[in-house]
Each structure stands twice: as structure tokens, then as C-alpha cells.
Amino acid sequence: AGVCVGRNAFQRKDTKAFVQALCNVVHNNVDPAKALEQHK
């Protein structure tokens, strides 16, 4: 699996948290909304 990362990641206030949430979605099958909530 893979993702295409662009402005949506790099223009965030907390890029690291967004990328961590994205990793949880890809590698741990976490629901995207829950992943973002966990990394706020």
C-alpha cells in the first residue's frame, strides 16, 4: 500500500502529527477520522 503526499500534509500546522495519522491508516487499518483525532 502507498499514498501520495503533497500540500495536504506539508501545509498543516503539525506535519508530524498528520503523517503519523496517515501511517496509522495505512499500516494499522485505523479509520481516517479516528487517526486524525488521535494525533491532534
pLDDT in tens, 1-40: 577 888 878 888 898 999 999 999 999 999 999 998 988 8
19 is in which domain, residue-wise? Answer: 13-38
Residues 6+ apart with CB under 8 A from 10: none
Residue carrying the nine cell digits 479516528: 34
For 11, phi and psi rounded to 5 degrees? -95, 10
- Residue 22 inside a domain? The answer is yes
- Residue 27 inside a domain? The answer is yes
- Residue 5 inside a domain? The answer is no
Cα–Cα distance, 1 to 40 (Å, whole number): 24
Looking at the structure of the chain, the number of domains it has is 1
Cα–Cα distance, 38 to 1 (Å, whole number): 22
- Residue 30 inside a domain? The answer is yes
- Residue 21 inside a domain? The answer is yes
pLDDT value at position 1? 58
- Residue 2 inside a domain? The answer is no
- Residue 8 inside a domain? The answer is no
Cα–Cα distance, 19 to 10 (Å, whole number): 9
pLDDT value at position 36? 87
